[in-house]
Amino acid sequence: MLLVEGLQIRYMLTTFSEKTELSHISSREITIALAGNPNAGKSVVFNQLTGGNQIIGNWPGKTVERTEGWIKYRGRRIRIVDLPGIYSLSTYTEEELIAREFIISGTPDVIINVIDASLLERSLFLTLQLLEMERPLLLAVNQLDVAESKGLKTDINTLSKLLRVPAIGIIATKGIGLNRLLTTAIELAEKKERVIPPTYGGEIEQSIIELVKSLDEVYPEYPTRWLAIKILEKDEWLRQLNISQGILDRAEEIRVEIEKTHKEPIEIIISSERYALASHITRNSQFYEKKKKTFLENLDMVLLHPVLGYISMLLFLLTAFMTLFKLGEIGSSLLEKLFSNLDVLVINIPISDILRNLLFDGILAGFVSGITIALPYILPFYIFLSFLENSGYLSRIAFLTDSIMHKLGLHGKGVIPIIMGYGCNVPAILGTRILESRRERIIASFLSMLIPCSARTIVILGLVGIFLGIKWAFLIYILDLIIIYIVGLFMNRYYPGETPGLIMEVPDLRIPVLKPTLRQSWFRIKEFLYVALPYIVLGSVLLEVLKLLGWFDVINKILSPVVVDWLGLPLITGIVLIFGLLKKELTLILLSTFSGTTNFSLILNPRQMFVFSVFVTLYVPCLATIASLRKELGRFTAFVLVLLEILLALLIAGIINHLWIYIVS
């Protein structure tokens, strides 16, 4: 499966580079851009249209994910670009900037605007802004079934007439209407007709008309009405255009005048105008019949309840995590059995022992241990996470945890990377991108690095859980949460800056569709393998090299003041902890290799087991995590955070070591 996917990706990449060469010769290729609100079902439409043929990457120079796919339709190649989910095009966020840039400069042949029929008015707010840009546009009215269940009947013909663009009703999750959507999009792309932009009311419309007159013919590459609106809005993007001072001055006069009569900033007045039109169109094309509350709506009242909400959240997460770890245990022992037959392949190769050690204990073992953590532990976790996201429950968790997260300098959305951290710290750190400020990303990264990931869970359960009892393992998790809370309080207090307030959509609860959920998880696990696996293999080889050079004893001796005197651990754990840097579950494997037993009670007493597990949980995250930290926050910040973490781990584990006698008695 992995191989097939890999080949497909390679195939896609070659067609990608071919395209750039051919584009000036062949006009047969069509670019479709998908635009729409978050949660409108854009990704489902994208996945249904492109199947598995997609490339996921980042927009150049940005941390926003870019998804692009290709299909062949009647012998012609169609390129589909999935723009980031946005509410507006006012360039408040990076996503909005990207979407706008692509529509203006990337010149898609046609835009498919996916809207949620159950949230028509809000969706049309973006539609109107897209129409202002005068590119060929096709409206995909999605989630008609959801709208119907809420008692909303949509008249798509009237909607299309009022907006003066074609509209097609679809139910993307069931694949209904998508063929017609594609053929209509291609027809529109061929006609290349510009759409008629919407007209607004009152002084805003008059001002637009006045500015359009003075702008006419000056910037032929941009739609004039759109430019006029942007000038009124004082959009920062305009700076690159060098608009004449005369026009800017006149716009300023108009703006001051309007703001005086309305006693509101111009931004609000323009938004109000757009919403007035969106609301007018909605009233004329959608009809509401009161319906009984659905089961999910009633459930939602429980999930957001100030008391029941927290109880159900805790129960749900606890059950989910325990099930996931149980599944992981079963899966990884199955995989280990499967892989243990592989050594036959290497043992019979006629090469020197040194090479064989590097090949087998280095590369192969590293690869195997990467896979045995990725597939049984992280993949189910990703599926669970996609389920949380797509069902809408994740935003409810963010709502419930907002006030506690605020104390840590984050808002509710900050809980998302922290939950991800329990699966693996790598996606947790990549996931901090959803937070607005650098301060939040740094705090969230640091806190999620302290979360025991799958690999550390193996150590905690395999050592403390087995030899001291599950209660003690549980204690480590509780202790870890307390430490995170205290560290968060400190960071919030001493790291300059403010926590931005939470503004987040809480989408309707829905039952996630299986296919897109699985596909999303699959792409994520692939990203994990690309980022982390090379480091795991590299680390494994490095370990073999050091072993061959016989440096282990030297390292142990150097570390003994810290490891033996401060942490009270046996001498051999020094090298074990160093290699835990590569991957944390390795510490347990190495411990048994060096001591020649899997009965750890022979080499560690209860205190040492506990201290060891706490230290492994808290100290430097693995190499792959450091790599993603560096990628997201830069080398210096990554270095500081890692250093702080080592000090924190030493402090806590050392204190536990020295106070152990008091704790136990």
Partner 1 sequence: MVRPLSTLKVGEKGKIVRLIGGIGIIKRLSDLGFVPEQEVEVIRSAPRGPIAIKVKGTVYALGRGVADKIYVDDLQ
Which residues of this chain interact with partner 1, rule CB under 8 A? 87-88, 90, 92, 118-122, 125, 264-265, 267-268, 271-272, 275, 304-306, 395, 398-400, 402-403, 406, 411-412, 501-508
Q: Whole-number minimum distance, CB 140 to partner 1, in Å?
A: 19
Taking the C-alpha atoms of residue 522 and residue 525, their distance in angstroms, rounded to an integer, is: 5
Nearer CB in complex with partner 1: 18/267? 267
Region of residue 97 (left: phi > 0; alpha: psi -120 to 50; beta: else): alpha
Distances (CA, A) of 307 to 301, 400, 418, 481: 11, 10, 22, 21
Nearer CB in complex with partner 1: 18/264? 264
Taking the C-alpha atoms of residue 537 and residue 541, their distance in angstroms, rounded to an integer, is: 6
Cβ atoms < 10 Å from Cβ of 633: 20
72-100 in b/e burial notation, b at 16+ Cβ within 10 A?
eeeeebbbbbbbbbbbbbbbeeebbbbbb
Nearer CB in complex with partner 1: 248/334? 248
Q: Whole-number minimum distance, CB 369 to partner 1, in Å?
A: 41
Q: Whole-number minimum distance, CB 186 to partner 1, in Å?
A: 32
Q: Whole-number minimum distance, CB 288 to partner 1, in Å?
A: 10
Nearer CB in complex with partner 1: 270/385? 270
Nearer CB in complex with partner 1: 87/552? 87
Nearer CB in complex with partner 1: 501/596? 501
Q: Whole-number minimum distance, CB 573 to partner 1, in Å?
A: 44
Residues 6+ apart with CB under 8 A from 305: none
Would you state the structure tokens that stand for residue 312, as one six-digit string? 């159900």
Nearer CB in complex with partner 1: 402/480? 402
Q: Whole-number minimum distance, CB 122 to partner 1, in Å?
A: 5
Strand order in the sheet with 167-169: 54-58, 65-73, 76-82, 30-36, 110-116, 137-142, 167-169
Nearer CB in complex with partner 1: 386/401? 401
Would you state the structure tokens that stand for residue 354, as one six-digit string? 């040194």
Q: Whole-number minimum distance, CB 410 to partner 1, in Å?
A: 11
Nearer CB in complex with partner 1: 194/305? 305
Cα dihedral 270→271→275→277 (10° resolution): 20
Would you state the structure tokens that stand for residue 212, as one six-digit string? 């359009």
Q: Which residue has the tokens 């169109």?
A: 281
Taking the C-alpha atoms of residue 650 and residue 661, their distance in angstroms, rounded to an integer, is: 18
Considering only the C-alpha atoms of the chain, give the largest distance between any 2 of them, rounded to a whole number of Å: 89
Distances (CA, A) of 369 to 254, 333, 532, 582: 67, 11, 12, 11
Taking the C-alpha atoms of residue 198 and residue 176, their distance in angstroms, rounded to an integer, is: 29
Q: Whole-number minimum distance, CB 7 to partner 1, in Å?
A: 42
DSSP string, 307-338: THHHHHHHHHHHHHHHHHHHHHHHHHHHHHHH
Q: Whole-number minimum distance, CB 228 to partner 1, in Å?
A: 18
Q: Whole-number minimum distance, CB 522 to partner 1, in Å?
A: 30
Q: Which residue has the tokens 């635009």?
A: 35
- Tally the C-alpha atoms within 13 A of residue 536's C-alpha that lie toward its C-beta: 24
Nearer CB in complex with partner 1: 406/630? 406
- Tally the C-alpha atoms within 13 A of residue 574's C-alpha that lie toward its C-beta: 19
Taking the C-alpha atoms of residue 321 and residue 451, their distance in angstroms, rounded to an integer, is: 13
Q: Is 14 exposed, middle or buried (0-12, 13-18, 19+ CB in 10 A)?
A: exposed
DSSP string, 105-116: HS--SEEEEEEE
Taking the chain, what is the end-to-end CA distance rounded to the nearest angstrom? 55
Nearer CB in complex with partner 1: 234/630? 234
Q: Whole-number minimum distance, CB 304 to partner 1, in Å?
A: 4
Taking the C-alpha atoms of residue 131 and residue 653, their distance in angstroms, rounded to an integer, is: 60
Nearer CB in complex with partner 1: 15/437? 437
Nearer CB in complex with partner 1: 118/617? 118
Would you state the structure tokens that stand for residue 507, as one six-digit string? 């989408």
Nearer CB in complex with partner 1: 86/588? 86
Q: Whole-number minimum distance, CB 146 to partner 1, in Å?
A: 11
Residue 176 and residue 231 in contact, taking contact as beta carbons nearer than 8 Å? no
Q: Whole-number minimum distance, CB 59 to partner 1, in Å?
A: 21
Cβ atoms < 10 Å from Cβ of 403: 11
Q: Whole-number minimum distance, CB 256 to partner 1, in Å?
A: 15
Q: Whole-number minimum distance, CB 362 to partner 1, in Å?
A: 49
Nearer CB in complex with partner 1: 40/586? 40
Distances (CA, A) of 655 to 378, 405, 489, 563: 32, 27, 20, 13
